[in-house]
Amino acid sequence: MKDSNNVVSMQGAQREQREMKRSSQLPAAVVAVRDRSRALLLEQAKLVFAKVDDSLFAMAEKAHGQNEQDGLFQALRLLRVERRKVVEQFADNVAQAFHVRESSIDGDDPYSADSLSLVHNDDLEQLVAIDTMVASAKRDFAEPLTEISLRLNTLLSVKIYDKNNPLGPDSICDAFVEASRGLDLHIRARLTLLKKFEQLVMVNLGKLYEQCNDLFVEQGVLPSLKQQRRAARQRPVAPASRPLSGGVPSQGQYHSTASPTAGQYVEGHLGAGHAAGVSGGHGLVPLGSGVAPMGAQDLLSHLGALQSHVPQSYADGEIQLLNVNSLLQERLVEVRQSAALAKMDSDVIKLVEMLFSFILEDRNLAEPIKSQLGRLQLPLLKVAIGDRSFFSKGGHPARKLLNELADASTGWQAKDNYESDPLFKKISEVVARVLAEFDRDINIFSLLLESFREFIQRERKRAERLEQRIVDEADGKAKTQAARARVAAVMDALMAERDLPPVVSEWLEKVWANMLFLTCIKEGTDSESWSRDVRTARDLVWSVHAPMPDSRKQLLGLLPTLQERLKAGVEVVSLNTFDARRMFTGLKEVYRERFALAQRIAEERSQKALEQARKETETHTPLATPVEEAPEVAAVAAPEVVEPVVVELPQMEELEQVVAAAELHVEEKAGVEAMPESDSYWQQTYRLAQGSWFELKRGDEEQFRCRLAAVIKDIDQFIFVNRNGAKVAEFTRLELAHALRNAQLMPLDDGMLFERALQSVIGTVRKSRGEMK
C-alpha cells in the first residue's frame, strides 16, 4: 500500500512538472482560469462516480436477465477500482485542452449525432447521449460561454470557436469520454455514467463559467464586456446599405494580453462579426462568436435566392457539387449581412452535401443524368431545412421523385445528341420546374412525380412489348428443345435393346413421339395427360413384347382401350387416313401372330405335359406298346416352338426418372472452360434477380447497360435487353459465370438512390465517430 502511494505521488509530481512547463507558454490569466476550472471539475467528477455507484447497484438488483445483471455488477466493481484514475485523467484532459490548436469552423467534425438523429440511427446511443448533453449546455449557457470565447480570443494566438474552446461543452464532454474510453463497461452502465455526468457536471456548468468570467475580470481581461454586450443588443441596427465605420481588428490586437478599448472591441467583434477574411466584415461567422444564429425562414429565403441562380445545365455535362456555405457567404456579403448558422442547420447542410456527393459519384448513372440530378441539391436542402421528416420518412414526395428519376435512368446511356433523347428531356424538364416553382410547398414534388410516372409508364409499355416478344421466342425455343429431349429419353428407354415389329416402331416414331411432344409443350411433364400418354407408349411396347401365353388374358383386356387411345393420338397429330388404316392393319396382323404364337406355345406345352405324364406312368408299369413302335411316336411329335427372349420394360416410376434426368445439350462457345459448382461466380448465377441491371463490356471501347429480362430455365439461358426492350446479349450459365469472373458483366446497384446514399452517409459517420461507441 505504501509502495502504491509512492507511485501515485511520483506520477503526480511528474504531472505537475509537465503542467508547469506548459503553463509557461500560456498567458497568466489563462493559467489562472485553467487551474480554477480543473479543480472545480475534478470535484464534480468525484461526485459523478459516487452517484453512479448507487445507481448501478439498484439497476443490477432489478436487471431482467443474468447476463445484464452480471454486466452491471462487473461495471460496478470496475468503476470502484478505476474511478480515481479516470477522475485524474479527466482533470488532466481539461487542463490540456487550454493548449488550443489551430482550428476553423470548416475543420470541425461535421458529422455529429444531430445529423444522425435525423435518420433515427439507434445504433449510436452513446453518441446521441453525448451530443444531446452538449447541445443542451450550449443552449443554456450561451451568453457566459460567448464571453469566455471572446476573452480567450484576446489572449490566445489562435481563433476560438465552439469546438476548440477549452471550457466549451464539447471540450469538457470530450475530456470525460476520453478518460473513460478504456473502461470495458456494459452499455447500460456506460449510458448511466454519461447521464450522471450530464446531471452533475454539464447541467452545472453555469457556476463554472461564472467563476471563470469573474476571474478573467479580476485579471483585467475585458472587464466591461458584459455591459458592452448589453449596450450592443440595445443599440439600433444600422441600415444594410450604410458602410460600417470600423473594420476587423488587426491580428495583433487579439494576440495582446492587454485589454483593447471598448470601442475597438465592440466595433471589431460585434459590428463586423469577426469574420476573418470576409470583405467588409459581412458573411457567415462561427456560431458562438456573438452573432445570433440565422432563423430557419431567413435561411430558406437566402437558399431560395441562390436556387434561382443554379445553372440550367453544365457545360459538356459537367458535374458540380455545390458548396452551400461558400454560396451563403457570397450571398450575405452581397446583401451586407452577418449571420451564423444554427448547429442543426449546419448539420443538415453538410448531410445533404454528403448525400449529393454520393449521388454524383454513383456509377449507376450516366454523367448527363448526374449533372441534372445535381441541380436538385439546393431544392432538397430547402426541403430538409423546412421539414425534419425528410430524412426519416421513406415516402416523402421529394425523396420519391429523386428515386424515380434515378430508377428510370439506370439503363440510360448518353449517345450522340443525347439532349434530344425523350428521357433526358423529361428529366431536364422536371428539374427545371423544381428550380423554378419550388419555394416552400412540397406538393410540387407530388405533382411532378405523378407526371413523370405517367411518362415512364408509356415508355416502358413500348419496351415491354418488344421485350416480351423476345422472351416468348426464346422461351418457346427452349421449351421445344426440352420437349424433344424428354420425348427422346422416353422413346430410348422403351425401344432400346428391343426388336420391335416395324409397324410398332412406326407407331412410336411417327405418331406417339409427336403426341408426347405436343403434350409436353402444352401441359408439361407434371400433367396427367403426359403420364397417360407415356403409359400408352409403354402399353404399346408391352403388347408386342409381353410373354405369351401367360399374358394372353391381360393382353385381351388391354387391346380395346389401347386401340381407343391410339385412335385419339392419330386425330391429335393429324395422321392421314391412308397411313392410319395401314398402320392399324399392320398392328392387327402383329396381334394375330401374337395370339397364334400363344396358341402354338400352349399346345406345345400341353403335348410336353402329356409325354411327361406317360413317361412317368411307364416307369412304374409294363410297357403296353411294342418297342419297335417308339420311333413312330417320335416321328409324329410336333416341332418345338422357341419362346422369344423378353427384355423387361421399365416401370412408370423409372420412366419419370428418365424424363427428369434428360439433359439438354446446350452448345457452349469453343474454349469456355468448365467450372466447378462450388465456384463463387457459378453460385452467383443462381442469385441474379430478373430485372437487375448490368454494365456489359465488349472489348476496350464498347460497353453498355443491359437488364436481365429472363432466365430460360429449361436450357439455362440468360437473356439481356436494353432499356428499349431490344435483346443485346444472351449467355448460357457457364458463359455468364465466366463473364462475371472476368468483369465483362458487372452488376449495378439499382436500389433506391436516396436510400443507398443515406446508408453510405451513415456508414461514413459511423466510421468517423466509431471511437465513441
Cβ within 8 Å of residue 555, ≥6 positions away: 543, 546, 591, 594
Please identify, among 625, 646, 667, the residue that sits at the C-terminal boundary of a domain.
Answer: 646
Higher pLDDT, 631 or 408: 408
pLDDT of residue 92: 94
Domain span at residue 84?
Answer: 28-138+164-205
Position 233 confidence tier, pLDDT thresholds 50, 70, 90: low
Whole-angstrom distance, CA of residue 369 vs CA of residue 338: 37
Quote the Cα angle for 644-649-653, to 5°. 170
pLDDT of residue 229: 60
pLDDT of residue 463: 79
Quote the Cα angle for 176-177-179, to 5°. 65
pLDDT of residue 280: 47
Whether 214 shows a pLDDT value over 80: the answer reads: yes
**Residue percentage of the chain with pLDDT more than 70:** 78
List phi, psi (to 5°) of 639: -65, 145
C-alpha cell at 286: 462561427
Q: Which of 258-267, 321-330, 384-393 has the lowest mean pLDDT?
A: 258-267
305 and 413 inside one domain: yes
Whether 270 shows a pLDDT value over 50: the answer reads: no
Domain-embedded: residue 485: no
pLDDT of residue 379: 93
Domain-embedded: residue 63: yes
pLDDT of residue 158: 85
DSSP-derived 3-state class of residue 729:
strand
Whole-angstrom distance, CA of residue 352 vs CA of residue 48: 38
Position 449 confidence tier, pLDDT thresholds 50, 70, 90: very high
- Report the b/e string of 145-156 with b at 16+ CB within 10 A: bbbbbbbbbbbb
313 and 423 inside one domain: yes
Domain-embedded: residue 586: yes
User: In Å, what is the CA distance from 470 to each residue of 155, 604, 710, 732?
Assistant: 78, 66, 10, 16
- The string of pLDDT tens digits covering residues 280-331 is 457 788 776 667 788 888 888 889 888 887 765 554 456 678 888 888 888 8
User: DSSP secondary-structure letter at 414?
Assistant: -
Whether 387 shows a pLDDT value over 50: the answer reads: yes
Quote the Cα angle for 150-151-152, to 5°. 90
H or E element in which residue 708 lies: strand 702-712
Cβ within 8 Å of residue 261, ≥6 positions away: none
The number of folded domains in the chain is 3
Give 560's Cβ-side CA count (13 Å radius).
3
C-alpha cell at 206: 453555469
C-alpha cell at 82: 478505476
List phi, psi (to 5°) of 300: -65, -35
Q: Which of 282-291, 522-531, 589-598, 728-737 has the lowest mean pLDDT?
A: 282-291
Task: Tell me the pLDDT of the chain averaged across its residues.
Answer: 77
Higher pLDDT, 28 or 462: 28
324 and 200 inside one domain: no
Position 628 confidence tier, pLDDT thresholds 50, 70, 90: very low
Q: Report whether 404 contacts 416 (CB < 8 A).
A: no
pLDDT of residue 13: 53
pLDDT of residue 209: 92
Domain-embedded: residue 383: yes
Whole-angstrom distance, CA of residue 532 vs CA of residue 755: 54
Q: Which of 274-278, 571-575, 606-610 has the lowest mean pLDDT?
A: 274-278
556 and 429 inside one domain: no
Determine the average pLDDT of the residues in 126-155: 82
pLDDT of residue 424: 92
> Checking phi first, is residue 243 left (phi over 0); if not, alpha (psi -120 to 50) or beta?
beta
Q: Report whether 643 contacts 547 (CB < 8 A).
A: yes
41 and 131 inside one domain: yes
Whole-angstrom distance, CA of residue 562 vs CA of residue 662: 27
Domain-embedded: residue 449: no
The model's pTM: 0.48
Determine the average pLDDT of the residues in 592-600: 83
Domain-embedded: residue 114: yes
pLDDT of residue 380: 92
Whether 408 shows a pLDDT value over 70: the answer reads: yes
339 and 425 inside one domain: yes
Q: Which of 327-336, 641-650, 699-708 has the lowest mean pLDDT?
A: 641-650
Position 624 confidence tier, pLDDT thresholds 50, 70, 90: very low
Higher pLDDT, 211 or 296: 211
SS (H, E, C) 287-332: CCCCCCECCHHHHHHHHHHHHCCCCCCCHHHCCCCCCHHHHHHHHH
Please identify, among 395, 412, 441, the residue that sits at the C-terminal boundary of a domain.
Answer: 441
pLDDT of residue 14: 57
Whether 227 shows a pLDDT value over 70: the answer reads: no
Whether 346 shows a pLDDT value over 90: the answer reads: no
pLDDT of residue 411: 79
**Residue percentage of the chain with pLDDT more than 90:** 17
Length of the chain, in residues: 773
- The string of pLDDT tens digits covering residues 703-738 is 778 888 888 877 778 989 887 788 888 888 888 899
- Report the b/e string of 287-321 with b at 16+ CB within 10 A: bbbbbebbeeeebbebbeebbeebeeebeebebee
pLDDT of residue 292: 78
pLDDT of residue 36: 93
H or E element in which residue 720 lies: strand 717-721
pLDDT of residue 102: 61
CA-only gyration radius of the chain, Å: 46
H or E element in which residue 599 lies: helix 577-620
pLDDT of residue 85: 93
H or E element in which residue 17 lies: helix 2-23
> Checking phi first, is residue 154 left (phi over 0); if not, alpha (psi -120 to 50) or beta?
alpha
Whole-angstrom distance, CA of residue 729 vs CA of residue 737: 14
Whole-angstrom distance, CA of residue 773 vs CA of residue 123: 9
Whether 4 shows a pLDDT value over 60: the answer reads: no
Whole-angstrom distance, CA of residue 694 vs CA of residue 263: 68
Q: Which of 227-231, 415-419, 509-513 has the lowest mean pLDDT?
A: 227-231
> 129 exposed, middle or buried (CB, 10 Å; 0-12, 13-18, 19+)?
buried
Long-range contacts of 751-755 (CB under 8 A, 24+ apart): 752/403, 752/406, 752/407, 753/359, 753/362, 753/364, 753/365, 753/402, 753/403, 753/406, 753/407, 754/355, 754/399, 754/402, 754/403, 755/394, 755/403
C-alpha cell at 605: 406345352
Please identify, among 646, 680, 701, the residue that sits at the C-terminal boundary of a domain.
Answer: 646
Q: Write out the DSSP string of 515-563.
A: HHHHHHHHH-TTSHHHHHHHHHHHHHHHHHHS-TTTTHHHHHHHHHHHH
Q: Packing angle between helix 66-96 and helix 2-23, nearest 10 degrees?
A: 40
199 and 347 inside one domain: no
Whole-angstrom distance, CA of residue 597 vs CA of residue 602: 8
pLDDT of residue 664: 59
329 and 192 inside one domain: no
Whole-angstrom distance, CA of residue 694 vs CA of residue 731: 13
312 and 433 inside one domain: yes
Domain-embedded: residue 411: yes
Cβ within 8 Å of residue 233, ≥6 positions away: none
Closest CA to 109 of 281, 335, 350, 332: 350
Whether 200 shows a pLDDT value over 60: the answer reads: yes
Higher pLDDT, 17 or 114: 17
Position 665 confidence tier, pLDDT thresholds 50, 70, 90: low
617 and 502 inside one domain: yes
C-alpha cell at 56: 448501478
Whole-angstrom distance, CA of residue 378 vs CA of residue 327: 11
Higher pLDDT, 595 or 108: 595
Higher pLDDT, 167 or 125: 167
Determine the average pLDDT of the residues in 646-673: 71
Domain-embedded: residue 540: yes
Higher pLDDT, 129 or 116: 129
308 and 397 inside one domain: yes
pLDDT of residue 591: 86
pLDDT of residue 526: 86
181 and 327 inside one domain: no
